[in-house]
A and B are shown apart, each in its own frame.
Chain A
Amino acid sequence: MRRLIAGIAGAVFGFGLVLSDMIDPDRVLAFLTLNSGKWDPTLAFVMGGAILPMLLAWRISAQREQPFLGGEFPPRPTGGPDRKLMAGAILFGIGWGVIGLCPGPALAGLLIGGWPVALFVAAAFGGMALYQYQFTRA
């Protein structure tokens, strides 16, 4: 059941990325590029729209002992921003700003975006593996 729900959630997420056009890196770069002469605010609407249901979801979760399918709700992260968090955000921002792809749209476009998206996804998994073996002692 958990896997079915996860699969459905993934599909809804992917459909949302297509409908909002965030699957198109050109559209994302049109938001991130401030000096193009035709700045495109669409990404802000997508982010705003996505936050609304989650505001409600966090409120519901606060009133429940556990998720509907059992287990536990994710604990609130303790502490404030640290150097690791900020260094990661800067590195991510550099990559995002260069190509206009972040993990969600990259995976969503994996099968329909041709070789460039596939190459980007492969490199992103490479970057994740690098973290795995360099920065953790798993």
Chain B
Amino acid sequence: MEFILGDAIKGLVGGLLIGCSAAILLLANGRIAGISGIAGALITKSATKLRFENLAFVLGLITAPLAYSVLIEQPEIGVSTNPIMLVFAGLCVGLGTRLGSGCTSGHGVCGLSRFSPRSLASVLTFVGTAMLVASGVRMITGAPV
């Protein structure tokens, strides 16, 4: 294990920002800041008055990192370039988060803080599964895909 205090502090501060974002959305708009739920609602047929609200959230989420990379520095994004794995993982994440009613933000940030048993079960399952898969991939290939 490699513990770097600066990374932990940046993680904590970044996490606090994420939590504040979720808190604002809950207390002002009465909404759960679940990214899969908000993004998924963008492609449903039933057009609700929340559609533009969801769009505004997603636009903010997409453009803030772009602004950061233009104004401050380009964040490092180390990601697989295997197209088959990218498509496979994307399909799993899209289908899984809708089937399971939430992802790291909805169940993780918003659900755990509400002491929801469903969210706790979900988080333990997806974190456990992801650890098994990531560690398995490492064991077989000696490197990430």
Contacts of A33 in B (CB 8 A): 131, 134-135, 137-138, 144
**In the assembled complex, how far is the CB of residue B46 from the closest CB belonging to chain A, in whole angstroms?**
6
Is there contact, CB below 8 Å, between A119 and B28? no
Q: Which residue of A lies closest to B109 (CB)?
A: A50
A-contact 0/1 string along B83-102, CB 8 Å cutoff: 10111111111111111110
Inter-subunit contact B29/A6 (CB<8 Å): yes
Task: Indicate with 1 or 0, residue by residue over A118-138, a CB within 8 angstroms of chain B CB atoms.
Answer: 011111111111111001001
| Chain B residue with the shortest CB-CB distance to A69 | B28
Q: How far is the CA of A54 from the CA of B43 in the complex (A)?
A: 27
Known: A86-B100, A107-B58, A127-B98. A34 touches B135 (CB 8 A): yes
Q: Which of A96, A130, A135 contacts B130 (CB 8 A)?
A: A96
Q: In the bound complex, do residue B61 and residue A14 qualify as a contact, i.e. CB atoms below 8 Å apart?
A: yes
Contact partner, A121, options B32, B90, B96, B136, Cβ 8 Å: B90
**Dominant secondary structure of chain A at its interface with chain B:** helix
* B107 contacts across to A, CB distance below 8 A: 89
Complex partner residue of B96 from A23, A49, A61, A92, CB under 8 angstroms: A92
Chain A positions 60-116 with a Cβ under 8 Å from a chain B Cβ:
60-61, 64, 66-74, 76-77, 79-81, 84-104, 106-114, 116
Mark A residues whose CB is within 8 Å of B: 2-27, 29, 32-36, 38-43, 45-58, 60-61, 64, 66-74, 76-77, 79-81, 84-104, 106-114, 116-117, 119-132, 135, 138
Given contacts A12-B64, A109-B65, list 11 more A-B pairs with CB under 8 A: A12-B17, A12-B18, A40-B1, A53-B23, A85-B122, A90-B96, A92-B93, A93-B128, A108-B65, A111-B63, A121-B90
Complex A-B: 12 CB contacts under 8 Å: A2-B29, A6-B31, A32-B131, A66-B30, A77-B118, A81-B118, A86-B122, A91-B92, A92-B129, A97-B133, A102-B93, A111-B62
